[in-house]
Structure 1
Amino acid sequence: MSSPTNAAVLSEFEPTERGTPVGLPPYETRVPEPMNNYNLPSSPRLIAEKVQRLGEQFPTFANKSADDLEDLLRFEDLFQAHIDGLEQVQLMRTLEYELREENERLAEVNLSSEDELRKMRDSVAELQMFASSLTSRLYELVQEHLDLQKPYSPMLLLQRLRDEVKALDEQAETSARAFMAGDAPIESGECEDFVRTYKQLRLRYHSSEARCRLADAAYRSGSLSGVPLSLDR
């Protein structure tokens, strides 16, 4: 086409009144600005590759003549109609429409669940407060348990056993000194009672002292559990 394209020639696009011709500079300089300094490759092979790529990726442009491309640049409505007819643009708009519809559907679902979610949030807040109170009570019980355990810790029980062993030893020695320091004549019955009492004290002392040594060795080795610490055994 050597003359400017009119509405009759472009009837298939049905240009509106807005499609008035746009003034363009002379043909030599009407290439878009970013391509003013574009130089075609000198190699015919590279040119063929670019033409092939243009035909594969943009077949609607590759099949148009220079006049058709000039008309696309001259008429805005014609250019927009051609762009709207591209498969890539139609696919993009289809995806955009589907995405918008899906977003609206999700928004409706979220709005319909607002009351339920608010109730669930309030319920979760109540449960969190209840759990917090239970946690505080648990800490109190743990502290009470630790306080109750302190008098019965292995170290304290072992120390009590040592003190009791020492007390038994002193009791036996005190009883013997008191018996030996008596000025009155010792009768046979009194002697037998002293020997019996002293013997029981020494037996308890040696039994407790043996348990104390075993408990001390077990405590040092970390295996104190199972060792009797009570003097009543």
Structure 2
Amino acid sequence: RFWCRGSQEQDAQQPRPQEASQSWYPPSVVGSSPGSSRPGTPNSPAVHVSPAEAAGVISLLKDKSVDDLRKLLTDKDAYNQFLFSLDQVKIQNNIRDELRKETLQLARENLEKEPRIVELRNQCRIIRTTELAAAQEKLNELERKKDEMLRSSSPASLLHKLQEAMAKAEDESEALHRQFLDREIDLPTFVQRYKKLRTTYHKRALIHLAAKTSTG
């Protein structure tokens, strides 16, 4: 019993370690300090600093007193004042401000173009409903004419037309022959016209035979 009481008294007399002052400073920075009692937060984002930038920050911190450094860890306003005085931070803030201005300018320009865009959209709608419909109808008509021309120019159609022309020349020859027999025309006129008709008939007959042979 006496041993337990002595142990309790000895434990009570031992000084308790002073609790670390709670700092608002980022956990990743506080945890990286060798004497800090707060480990770095695993999920805190990693800060990538080049050696030149780190050397520049160290050169600014090395001349500060311990009180000034402690104030940077505990005083948010002092830390912000020091942070925003760094050239790297100033450059980043300037870039951010420029990007923000450019974004706002683009947004204003887009808003100014909105009435023109609406007008062009309405014009396109009118063109689709009026001019485009008329152009489509004309195109359909031209397509129909093209199909008719292709059908009339097909080999079968040309052979048929040539055969009709042969029959016409044959009929005209027979009609001329009847006129001569009925003495409606004289011999010289009959010979001249009949020779011409028969020549035309035989030319067409030869062309028809050659075309039919090549296509058959």
Q: TM-score, normalised by structure 2?
A: 0.54
Off by >6 Å, runs of 4+ in structure 1? 24-27, 166-173, 197-201
**Shift of residue 214 of structure 1?**
5.5
Distance of aligned partners of 1:81 and 1:60 in 2 relative to their CA distance in 1, 3 Å threshold = farther
Contact 1:22–1:75 (8 Å) recurs in 2 = no
2:111 aligns to what? 111
2:7 aligns to what? none
1:33 aligns to what? 40
Instruction: Write the letter of the residue equivalent to 1:209.
Output: A
Contact 1:158–1:212 (8 Å) recurs in 2 = yes
* Count of paired positions: 167
C-alpha separation in 1, matches of 2:143 and 2:198: 41
Instruction: Write the letter of the residue equivalent to 2:35.
Output: E
Q: SS at the partner of 1:79?
A: helix
2:22 aligns to what? 23
C-alpha separation in 1, matches of 2:37 and 2:76: 15
C-alpha separation in 2, matches of 1:116 and 1:200: 74
Q: Does 1:79 align with 2:44?
A: no
1:144 aligns to what? 144
Contact 1:151–1:157 (8 Å) recurs in 2 = no
CA deviation map 1:209-228 (0-9, x unaligned): 223356558x86xxxxxxxx
1:208 aligns to what? 204
Q: TM-score, normalised by structure 1?
A: 0.51
C-alpha separation in 2, matches of 1:70 and 1:31: 15
Distance of aligned partners of 1:163 and 1:77 in 2 relative to their CA distance in 1, 3 Å threshold = same
CA deviation map 1:61-83 (0-9, x unaligned): 31224945554333332222221
**Shift of residue 170 of structure 1?**
10
Q: SS at the partner of 2:130?
A: helix
Q: Percent identity?
A: 20
1:50 aligns to what? none
**Shift of residue 145 of structure 1?**
0.9
**Shift of residue 202 of structure 1?**
4.6
Residue ranges of structure 1 left out of the alignment (5+ in a row):
1-20, 36-52, 174-186, 221-233
Distance of aligned partners of 1:204 and 1:22 in 2 relative to their CA distance in 1, 3 Å threshold = same
C-alpha separation in 1, matches of 2:99 and 2:127: 38
**Shift of residue 108 of structure 1?**
2.6
Q: SS at the partner of 1:138?
A: helix
Q: Does 1:159 align with 2:160?
A: yes
C-alpha separation in 1, matches of 2:170 and 2:84: 110
Q: Please, what is the CA RMSD of the aligned residues?
A: 4.5
